[in-house]
Amino acid sequence: MRGFELVRPATLEEAIRLLDTDDPTVRPLSGGTAIMQMMKTGIFKPSRLVSLSSLAGDHSAITLDDKGFLSIGAMTTLAAVEHSQVVLQHAPLLPKVMKRLANVRVRNAATVGGALAHGDPHMDLPPVLAALDAEVIAQGPGGQRRIPVADLYAGYFETVLQRGEIIASVSVPPRNGCNSVYRKTTTRTADDWPALGVATSLGRGEGVLQHVRLFASAATERMTRLGSAEAHLRGNRPEAKLLEEAGRIAAQEVEVIDDAHGSAAYKVALVAVQVRRALHEALQQGSEQ
């Protein structure tokens, strides 16, 4: 590993100033669980890491506002999300997802900001937060902006975050009667990186599906919204045939990649099955309430 400068700014503004440079090897460091792996394998050789650890005090709170919006600071660890009673009550899917995300040691160190900014298409959190209509609050040299998690990824390991921009928090809107599900398919251990992740959020009214969100990840080069399958479902009665058709449409529209977790052909077949199952599970949750 080659030498690099490690700086520990005391404020978000100072961190942004230190990151606002033409050098693409200057990066923020949060939990370090992803970036250190990349450095150890020589994929990433930074000239400077800007540690956000001193910002944890101000940016690791989990709060709920009077309109029911959940705010999770970027420096919140995945373990804190997993064990938060506020999260459990207002976004119960998140703690559930954490149980099978990596392992306890990783979740104790990894942060929500890092899990969103890393841009690895195999991450579990992006499709889940996208299905929940969450937004990232990014702070940069030009001020603050909100980016829907659904629009955060530009490509493989690539986000739309600009030079000097840091994820400060993520905002999750109230559920408004919608039911959400994440189905993670792993080909080795249960808590392994997924071969496919499918997240959905469904809301019904007058017997038909009104609110439909459907995202796939891991099998794809970047998290992908399954827009054609969503359109097929919206406005229709959620009968078994419709869910099966949506699975088939999703498998047709998604661009799947081969990797160590399985062949593209296998993953296309998985998409059809897991989309159907995710939709079915979300509808069952609704009928149980």
Q: For 272, list phi and psi in degrees, rounded to 5.
A: -60, -45
Positions in the binding site for ligand FAD (CB under 6 A): 27-35, 37, 52, 74, 101-102, 106, 109-111, 113-115, 117-118, 123-125, 161, 166-167, 191, 193
Using DSSP, state whether 263 is helix, strand or coil. coil
CB closer to ligand FAD, 74 vs 209: 74
Which amino acid appears at position 74 of this protein? Answer: A
Q: Which is nearer to ligand FAD, 102 or 131 (CB)?
A: 102
- The tally of CA atoms less than 13 A away on the side-chain side of residue 24 is 4
Closest CA to 149 of 166, 135, 162: 135
- CB-wise, 217 or 283, nearer to ligand FAD? 217
132 closest CA partner among 116, 148, 118? 148
Amino acid at 217: S
Provide the minimum distance between the beta carbon of 4 and ligand FAD in the complex, in angstroms, as a whole number.
13
Q: How far apart are the first and last CA of the chain?
A: 54
* Residue 92 C-alpha from the chain's centroid: 15
- Of residues 161 and 243, the one with the C-beta less far from ligand FAD: 161
CA 120 to chain CA mean position, Å: 10
In angstroms, the CA 254 to CA 28 distance is 32
**By C-beta, is 74 or 172 nearer to ligand FAD?**
74
Indicate the residue among 163 and 211 with the shorter CB distance to ligand FAD.
163
Q: 191 or 245, CB closer to ligand FAD?
A: 191
CB of 75 to ligand FAD, least distance (A): 7
Can you tell me the distance from the alpha carbon of 44 to that of 42, in angstroms, rounded to the nearest whole number?
5
CB of residue 57 to ligand FAD, shortest distance in Å: 14
Angstrom distance (rounded) from CA 88 to CA 41: 37
Q: By C-beta, is 190 or 207 nearer to ligand FAD?
A: 190
Name the residue type at position 139: Q
CB of 81 to ligand FAD, least distance (A): 11
48-51 vs 5-7, strand pairing mode = parallel
CB burial of residue 24 (10 Å; 0-12, 13-18, 19+): exposed
- Tell me how far, at minimum, the Cβ of 245 lies from ligand FAD, in Å: 30
Residue of this chain nearest to ligand FAD (CB atom): 114
User: C-beta of 283: minimal distance to ligand FAD in Å?
Assistant: 26
What minimum distance in Å lies between the beta carbon of 102 and ligand FAD?
3
**Residue whose token pair is 């949750």:** 285
Q: How far is the CB of 44 from ligand FAD (least distance, A)?
A: 8
Instruction: Please answer whether residues 48 and 29 qualify as being in contact, where contact means their C-beta atoms are separated by less than 8 angstroms.
Output: no
